[in-house]
């Protein structure tokens, strides 16, 4: 462990949403002996649980400059992660400006893998993908020491949150991902990478890490992994994007997030997520979790009567 841990490490998005990367990073850094400042948007049971872990909890909003100053002042290392939001670029610019003002040692930026297939002439149809690409540009222009972490799709998103009901009630993995291959990753593994970098950031400054699960296979094979993990036959049912997205709209998914999820589904079907790297193993000396391992961990959420 790097022992220069007198000042706290700031973790934004610490209350977490899909997969709770920020919360896991907080817990892992505290285990490594670091002081951690956790930025949350509101006081609730999640912020209280962070305090119980030993974090210094700060309530604030990344789009509010005063909040960002309060969060960053006195911190040398920052994990910048934020849930999907139309205000994502504003938050990034705030963090970059204030971090530069305070002279931080490193920002570990949570981006996403599709950025590596984008450029000055082309992004994707997802407004969030464009914001991630622009956020990386802003951080590069800032001159700050940055490490970009680019995970592929989270198992915790499409394969748990968006598919659990179909698996639980009908033994079906119902997703609009077509027949292409994909290598989803557990948010827990992404958190392990982020915590490893923040523990000793110097060797990683300026690097980009593309994070995937251990193999890229089609969704039929992921369904077989579900079957193996749950001890019952789970079948993949590919569905068109539009009616799938319409159901999410009915459930109250906001337009910005909805357009992002729909664009991701279309890119999946086009084979744009057929990628696999061993960056998780290289950085942590431990392989990324397989789909079967992930499903076993969350078996209760995929099982009736639980």
What is the pLDDT, as a whole number, of residue 85? 82
What is the residue-averaged pLDDT of the chain?
A: 91
Question: Does the pLDDT of residue 4 top 70, yes or no?
Answer: no
What is the pLDDT, as a whole number, of residue 142? 95
The confidence band for 276, taking pLDDT boundaries of 50, 70 and 90, is very high
The confidence band for 186, taking pLDDT boundaries of 50, 70 and 90, is very high
What is the pLDDT, as a whole number, of residue 84? 78
Question: Does the pLDDT of residue 2 top 50, yes or no?
Answer: no
Residue range(s) in the chain whose domain bears CATH number 3.40.50.720: 9-152+187-211
Residue 235: strand, helix, or coil: strand
pLDDT in tens, 126-177: 788 889 999 999 999 999 999 999 999 999 988 998 899 999 999 999 999 9
Distances (CA, A) of 21 to 82, 220, 230: 10, 27, 25
If one counts every other C-beta atom within 10 angstroms of the C-beta of residue 129, the result is 21
pLDDT in tens, 36-90: 999 998 888 888 889 999 999 999 999 999 999 999 999 999 999 988 788 999 9
DSSP string, 45-83: HHHHHHHHHT-EEEE--TT-HHHHHHHHTT-SEEEE---
pLDDT in tens, 189-248: 999 999 999 999 999 999 999 999 999 999 999 999 999 999 999 999 999 999 899 888
pTM of the model: 0.92
| Strand arrangement of the beta sheet that strand 146-151 belongs to | 56-59, 36-40, 9-11, 77-80, 106-110, 146-151, 208-211
What is the pLDDT, as a whole number, of residue 6? 82
Token couple for 235: 């079948």
What is the pLDDT, as a whole number, of residue 1? 42
Rounded distance between C-alpha atoms, residue 277 and residue 135, angstroms: 23
Look up the CATH number of domain 156-182+214-274+285-302. Answer: 3.90.25.10
Residue range(s) in the chain whose domain bears CATH number 3.90.25.10: 156-182+214-274+285-302
Q: Which CATH architecture group holds 9-152+187-211?
A: 3-Layer(aba) Sandwich (3.40)
What is the pLDDT, as a whole number, of residue 13? 87
């Amino acid at each position: 462990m790097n022992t220069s841990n007198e000042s706290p490490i700031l973790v934004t998005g610490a209350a977490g949403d899909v997969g709770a990367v920020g919360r896991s990073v907080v817990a892992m850094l505290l285990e490594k002996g670091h002081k951690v400042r956790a930025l949350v948007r509101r006081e609730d049971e999640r912020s209280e649980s962070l305090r119980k872990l030993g974090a210094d909890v700060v309530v604030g909003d990344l789009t509010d400059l005063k909040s960002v100053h309060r969060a960053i002042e006195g911190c040398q290392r920052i994990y910048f992660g934020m849930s999907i939001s139309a205000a994502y670029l504003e938050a990034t610019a705030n963090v970059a400006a204030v971090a530069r003002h305070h002279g931080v040692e490193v920002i570990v930026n949570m981006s996403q893998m599709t950025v590596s297939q984008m450029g000055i002439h082309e992004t994707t149809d997802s407004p969030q993908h464009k914001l991630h690409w622009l956020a990386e540009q802003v951080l590069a222009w800032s001159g700050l020491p940055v490490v970009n972490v680019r995970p592929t799709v989270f198992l915790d998103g499409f394969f748990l949150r968006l598919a659990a009901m179909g698996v639980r009630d009908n033994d079906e993995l119902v997703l609009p991902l077509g027949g292409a291959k994909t290598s989803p990753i557990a948010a827990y593994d992404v958190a392990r990478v982020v915590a490893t970098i923040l523990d000793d950031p110097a060797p990683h400054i300026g690097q980009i890490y593309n994070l995937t699960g251990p193999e890229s296979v089609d969704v039929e094979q992921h369904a077989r992994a579900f079957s193996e993990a749950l001890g019952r036959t789970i079948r993949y049912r590919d569905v068109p994007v539009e009616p799938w997205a319409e159901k999410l709209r009915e459930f109250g998914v906001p337009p910005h997030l909805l357009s992002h999820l729909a664009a991701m589904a279309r890119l999946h079907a086009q084979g744009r997520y057929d990628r696999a790297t061993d960056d998780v193993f290289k950085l942590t000396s431990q392989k990324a979790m397989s789909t079967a391992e992930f499903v076993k961990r969350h078996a209760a959420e995929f099982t009736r009567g639980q």
